[in-house]
């Protein structure tokens, strides 16, 4: 849909309406529209993805503060993080956050999904979800066919031109006892290595580019962009569609079968609550008439809290801007254009891995993202000079936060991660940062290591490091859990992703996760969309 669309040609009747053109929504749109008798709408509040900032891997760094392509959310002051507000950017364009993430392909641990099933989420165990990961995948790395697929829409490949310093990270990690792992999505998660990425010919392969762009010509698939969903259309018993705003005009779009929310762990509960579906007392406080009292909508918010160790370096072999690096920086655009090589191919976290602290219970409990360039200790996007850094996050946080509507009349989402409210997360993060320091102090880095800028070498005691983490820790941008599925009456969704107490409404995105998976959430979110489509189509048979 473009700005010239008129009232007369605005489509309003569909079988299925999918709210959100991100990772899950794009897979759903592909799978449902493959049945030619079904009329499917994919609604995206943002616009098209037609900018090099999205498609060139290194462009990702320019998107996090973009007003055009990103929702610029901020959390409430975090009581256990020195009352800081945490920046929470989310994708606002076709592809959603898959159009601005670091393109890392990680599924999580087998035990994550088996745990879901043990909580009553029948059909969500690892053996059940593996087939969806494999069906979607076009693995270009000749990895174990017991875990990987070929011929799917999503290309999984290695980075085109990783920096040599990323290999130094692997060597350094091996020095402290971690082993190299060539496939984090295979038989085991633990270890370090170069991350696999979702790229095609050296360019970003978002969920939109993988699953929707190739089939957008299907006559039964309608992709509506710059189209904000204001509320669900409901009679209190069922949902019949959505009210949308486009070019200042409001339209009612009808879904004859189902409306599916794929707006993410912030967007989906927010839309439910804005439509009167949620905790009745909180809705009334925000001035929203109650349609359905579902107290757990917006609860159970989880995210991977992250700490940073960052060092300066005098070596121009790391990413950075200096006179010495001009020979690499200036030819980078031409190198990328002609050969898909050079600095513009970086996703800034080329290497990393998974490790177990002393608190782990048989499966890694921290993840590393290694940055082969200087990560500003002041929070800036760019700093003059060189260095390298290591992010460390808590994989299975115990802290729980919430999304609710603000009480100021705006009905905006109020995001409270409640980070480190559970002391167990603080203990794991502290041990993870200590391990990160050991890795960066290993002899592999001796030739290029400079001054530690954060947390700074003088901070050595647990109390000092914990104070540093409370002053600086942030999110890895993996919010989840706010429309939890389960078999208990308190869950928002049944295991087939239907909203309890309402007909014609499902949710399919990271918000359905009862517990956060152990790693980056892009691949699991696409799996959720794929499995949701199968469940929907099976009911039509």
**Catalytic amino acids?**
478
Q: Closest Cα partner for 351 from 512, 169, 201?
A: 169
Which residues in 262-319 belong to E strands, given as ranges?
277-278, 292-293, 305-313
Helix/strand/coil for 147: coil
User: What's the CA gap between 388 and 313, in Å, rounded?
Assistant: 7
Which H or E element spans position 234? strand 228-234
CB 459 within 8 A of CB 465: yes
Burial (0-12, 13-18, 19+ Cβ within 10 Å), 287: exposed
Q: Closest Cα partner for 295 from 274, 267, 273?
A: 273
Helix/strand/coil for 142: coil
Q: Can you give the length of the chain in residues?
A: 541
Q: What angle do CA 531, 218, 49 make, to 5 degrees?
A: 80
The three state secondary structure string of 75-103 is ECCECCCCCECCEEEEECECCHHHHCCCC
User: What's the CA gap between 24 and 532, in Å, rounded?
Assistant: 9
Residues 6+ apart with CB under 8 A from 509: 20, 22, 23, 24, 25, 261, 262, 263, 264, 265, 268, 525, 528, 529
Please tell me the number of Cα atoms within 13 Å of 235 on its side-chain side.
5
The residues facing 480 across adjacent strands are: 302
| 423-440 and 164-175 helices, crossing angle to 10° | 110
In terms of C-beta distances under 8 Å and separation of at least 24 residues, what long-range contacts does 211-215 make, across chains too? 211/26, 211/27, 211/29, 211/30, 211/153, 211/154, 211/526, 212/21, 212/26, 212/29, 212/30, 212/42, 212/94, 214/153, 215/30, 215/33, 215/34
User: What's the CA gap between 154 and 137, in Å, rounded?
Assistant: 5
């Amino acid at each position: 849909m473009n700005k010239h669309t008129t009232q007369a040609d605005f489509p309003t009747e569909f079988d299925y309406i999918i709210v959100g053109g991100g990772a899950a929504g794009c897979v759903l749109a592909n799978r449902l529209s493959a049945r030619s008798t079904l009329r499917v709408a994919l609604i995206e509040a943002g616009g098209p993805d037609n900018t090099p900032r999205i498609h060139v891997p290194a462009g990702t760094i320019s998107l996090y503060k973009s007003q055009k392509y990103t929702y610029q959310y901020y959390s409430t002051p975090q009581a256990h993080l020195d009352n800081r507000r945490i920046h929470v950017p989310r994708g606002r364009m076709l592809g959603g956050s898959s159009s601005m993430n670091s393109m890392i392909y990680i599924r999580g641990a087998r035990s994550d999904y088996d745990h879901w099933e043990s909580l009553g989420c029948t059909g969500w165990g690892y053996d059940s979800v593996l087939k969806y990961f494999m069906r979607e995948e076009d693995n270009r790395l000749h990895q174990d066919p017991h875990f990987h697929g070929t011929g799917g829409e999503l290309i999984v490949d290695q980075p085109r031109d990783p920096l040599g310093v990323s290999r130094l990270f692997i060597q350094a990690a091996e020095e402290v006892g971690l082993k190299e792992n060539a496939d984090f999505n295979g038989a085991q998660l633990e270890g370090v290595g170069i991350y696999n990425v979702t790229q095609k010919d050296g360019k970003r392969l978002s969920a939109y580019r993988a699953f929707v762009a190739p089939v957008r010509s299907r006559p039964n698939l309608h992709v509506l962009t710059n189209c904000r969903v204001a509320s669900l259309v409901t009679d209190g018993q069922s949902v019949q569609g959505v009210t949308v705003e486009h070019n200042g005009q409001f339209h009612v779009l009808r879904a004859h079968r189902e409306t599916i929310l794929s707006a993410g762990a912030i967007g989906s509960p927010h839309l439910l609550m804005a439509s009167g579906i949620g905790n009745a007392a909180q809705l009334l406080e925000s001035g929203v008439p109650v349609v359905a009292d579902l107290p757990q909508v917006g609860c159970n918010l989880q995210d991977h809290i992250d700490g940073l160790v960052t060092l300066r370096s005098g070596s121009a072999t790391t990413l950075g801007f200096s006179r010495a690096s001009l020979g690499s920086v200036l030819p980078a655009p031409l190198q990328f254009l002609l050969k898909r090589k050079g600095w513009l191919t970086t996703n800034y976290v080329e290497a990393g891995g998974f490790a177990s602290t002393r608190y782990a219970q048989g499966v890694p409990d921290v993840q590393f993202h290694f940055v082969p360039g200087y990560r500003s200790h002041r929070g800036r996007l760019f700093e003059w000079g060189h260095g390298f850094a290591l992010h460390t996050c808590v994989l299975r946080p115990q802290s729980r936060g919430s999304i609710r509507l603000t009480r100021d009349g705006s009905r905006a989402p109020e995001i409270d991660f409640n980070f480190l409210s559970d002391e167990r997360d603080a203990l794991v993060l502290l041990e993870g940062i200590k391990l990160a320091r050991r890795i960066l102090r290993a002899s592999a880095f001796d030739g290029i290591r400079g001054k530690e800028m954060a947390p700074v070498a003088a901070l050595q005691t647990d109390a000092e490091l914990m104070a540093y983490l409370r002053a600086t820790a942030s999110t890895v941008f993996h919010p989840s859990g706010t429309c939890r599925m389960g078999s208990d009456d308190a869950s928002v969704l049944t295991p087939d992703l239907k909203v309890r107490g309402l007909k014609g409404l499902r949710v399919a995105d990271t918000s359905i996760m009862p517990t956060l998976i152990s790693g980056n959430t892009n691949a699991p979110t696409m799996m959720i969309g794929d499995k949701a489509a199968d469940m929907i189509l099976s009911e039509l048979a």
